[in-house]
Amino acid sequence: MNIKELNDKLKFELLTKCPDSEIKKAYTSDLLSDVMGNAPDDSVLITIQAHKNTIAVASLAGINAIILCNNRKAPEDMLPAAESECIAILQTGLNQFDASVTVARALDLCS
Amino acid sequence: MIKKLIPVYENQTPLVVLELIQGHKISEIMSRNVVSVKPDVTMREVKLMMKDRGISGMPVVRQKRLLGIISVEDLLNALEDGLMDDSVEKHMSRNPVILEEQMPVSFAIDYFENYSFNRFPVLNESKELVGMLTDRDIIMHMIKVMNGEIGRLEELAKHGHHTEIGNVIRRYAVVQNDFKNAGKASSEIKALLQEHDVDRKIIRAAATAIYELEINQVVHSLGGEIVCRISDDHVEVLARDRGPGIKNIDLALSEGFSTATDWIRSMGFGAGMGLPNIKRVSDDFRIKSSESGTEIKVIINLPEDS
């Protein structure tokens, strides 16, 4: 499913333009090295790391969208960086666990 | 920075030259069969020794300990004052400027630039005199290494136009604590590999290794550089920093071990996965570290069809 379809279900706040990329899986982590090493391609990252380096890591790891949890504010330089890498940023008041559960349901990953 | 007489540290210095002066130690290029004199030898005897051997200076040594240097200039002064029967000890220059055998050749070049001496005594870790280094030694060494390197480059250039990527070298300076610019090297190399339709998995491996190396230098070092060399069949990344070095490499390579501060951890780094990640994605991984810096060399192979 693409990012727009996903967020129609999630109803999180979209902070950037919405690229038409596919989301197949999700990964939850606040350790960027862990994200870089283990996050699957074409995934959405669920994290509280709201800064520009998260974009760099996401771009390297093939992550197409980032969900910022606990309403973490994205600093000014983060959003343009995300847009130039065609990565969507979503924001939610949920914590990482609850956001992960919500995403898992939306992506139909729960068995 | 003061403009150097010998233009080898400028931004655009070719990698070959940097390797040539930083990658070799003084112990590899110094003269080992040193003619030295004992301190109780007379100036008259020294004059004969220098004349016979056609040299203009000698170290004065007692039981491998360097006491001073006696030069033609000292000899001329003694001659003028009629003191040729004095011992060398009375006329030598004490506390000479010395080099250590473990120093890189770049140090020696700096010394020749900063001091007017034509030769430096070289000491080992136990402060024993093990050799002498002259500017001639450096020139001979440079020519020898240059012959090899340029031959290699010529060989590469010959085959260069058959390839898609050719041979690309990119150098990036990394500044301590500069998180904002970390990622420049990895994203540029990533873009470059993408242009050449390299497999996505391999791009990710290369970009991950470079990014972790950048972050490592930003977080742990006093600054350094990342040099990426892309050839037909592999990407080579050389990350060199200016210290303070890794105390225990085995520990640093084990997942979860980290010396990062809380601030760095709060940024999502310093989880102790950097080096293990780099090692995992690379086809060849080499690391050496001392207080004067850490050097990591990583190779990622490019498969033939990419």
What's the angle, vertex CA B198, arms to CA B196 and CA B202, rounded to 5? 145
Residue with tokens 């850490």: B294
Query: Contact, A79 vs A15, CB < 8 A?
Result: yes
Q: Which DSSP string do the residues of A51-69 spell out, in sequence order? A: SHHHHHHHHHHTEEEEEE-
Other Cβ atoms within 10 Å of A104 Cβ, number: 16
Q: What are the C-alpha distances in Å from A66 to residues A52, B96, B294? A: 12, 62, 34
Residue at A82 is within a domain: yes
Residue at A25 is within a domain: yes
Instruction: Using a CB–CB cutoff of 8 Å, tell me whether A62 touches chain B.
Output: yes
CA terminus-to-terminus distance, chain A: 18
For residues B96 and B170, membership in a common domain is answered with: no
CATH number at residue B134: 3.10.580.10
- What number of residues does chain A have? 111
Residue at B242 is within a domain: yes
Cβ contact A62–B200 (<8 Å) = yes
- The closest CB to that of A31, out of B180, B183, B271, belongs to B271
CATH number at residue B183: 3.30.565.10
CA terminus-to-terminus distance, chain B: 43
**One-letter amino acid for residue A29 of the chain:** S
For residues B181 and B295, membership in a common domain is answered with: yes
Give the pLDDT score at B163: 43
Contacts of A70 in chain B (CB under 8 A): none
CA neighbours closer than 13 Å in the CB half-sphere of residue B84: 10
Burial class (CB in 10 A: 0-12, 13-18, 19+), B58: buried
Structural domains in chain B (count): 2
B282 vs B280: CA distance, rounded Å? 6
B119 vs B69: CA distance, rounded Å? 10
For residues B131 and B217, membership in a common domain is answered with: no
For the CA atoms of B103, B105, B106, B110, the dihedral, rounded to the nearest 10 degrees, stands at 90
Instruction: Write the CB contacts of A6 (distance below 8 Å, at least 6 apart in sequence).
Output: A23, A44, A65, A103, A106, A107
For residues B125 and B45, membership in a common domain is answered with: yes
Q: What is the rounded average pLDDT of the residues A6-29?
A: 94
Give the pLDDT score at A54: 93
DSSP tally for chain A: helices H, then strands E: 5, 5
For residues B120 and B243, membership in a common domain is answered with: no
Structural domains in chain A (count): 1
Report which DSSP code applies to B6: S
For residues B173 and B120, membership in a common domain is answered with: no
For residues B73 and B174, membership in a common domain is answered with: no
A2 vs A86: CA distance, rounded Å? 13
Instruction: Using a CB–CB cutoff of 8 Å, tell me whether B91 touches chain A.
Output: no
Cβ contact A32–B190 (<8 Å) = no
Instruction: Using a CB–CB cutoff of 8 Å, tell me whether A76 touches chain B.
Output: no
Residue at A111 is within a domain: no
Residues 206 through 225 of chain B touching chain A, CB cutoff 8 Å: 207-208, 211-212, 215
Other Cβ atoms within 10 Å of A111 Cβ, number: 4
Name the residue range of residue B135's domain.
15-139
Instruction: Using a CB–CB cutoff of 8 Å, tell me whether A84 touches chain B.
Output: no
Residue with tokens 């349901």: A105
For residues B223 and B277, membership in a common domain is answered with: yes
For residues B214 and B265, membership in a common domain is answered with: yes
Residue at B80 is within a domain: yes
CATH number at residue A7: 3.40.1390.20
Residues of chain B with pLDDT under 70: 1-16, 18-19, 158-166, 305-306
For residues B26 and B134, membership in a common domain is answered with: yes
Q: Enumerate the β-bridge partners of residue A45.
A: A27, A66
Mean confidence (pLDDT) of chain A = 93
pLDDT at residue A8 greater than cutoff 60: yes
B45 vs B191: CA distance, rounded Å? 69
Last residue of one domain, picked from the residues B139, B173, B188: B139
Per-residue three-class SS string for B108-158: HHHHHHHCCCCEEEEECCCCEEEEEEEHHHHHHHHHHHHHHHHHHHHHHHH
Last residue of one domain, picked from the residues B139, B155, B179: B139
For residues B72 and B117, membership in a common domain is answered with: yes
Instruction: Using a CB–CB cutoff of 8 Å, tell me whether A25 touches chain B.
Output: no
Phi-psi region of B64 (alpha: psi -120 to 50; beta: other; left: phi over 0): left
Residue at B5 is within a domain: no
ipTM exceeding 0.85, yes/no: no
pLDDT digits (tens, 9 = 90+) for A61-92: 889 999 999 999 998 889 999 999 999 999 99
Q: What are phi and psi of B66, to 5 degrees?
A: -80, 120
Q: A33, A34, A66: best mutation site toward chain B, by most B Cβ within 10 Å? A: A33
- Nearest chain B residue to A29 by CA distance is B268
Residue with tokens 């030259």: B17
DSSP tally for chain B: helices H, then strands E: 12, 11
Name the residue range of residue A20's domain.
3-106
Cβ contact B186–A34 (<8 Å) = no
For residues B110 and B61, membership in a common domain is answered with: yes
Contacts of A77 in chain B (CB under 8 A): 180
Give the pLDDT score at B5: 56
Enter the tokens of residue B223. Answer: 């600054």
Contacts of A37 in chain B (CB under 8 A): 208, 273, 276-277, 280-281
- Nearest chain A residue to B281 by CA distance is A37
Residue at A26 is within a domain: yes
Give the number of A-B residue pairs with CB atoms closer than 8 Å: 67
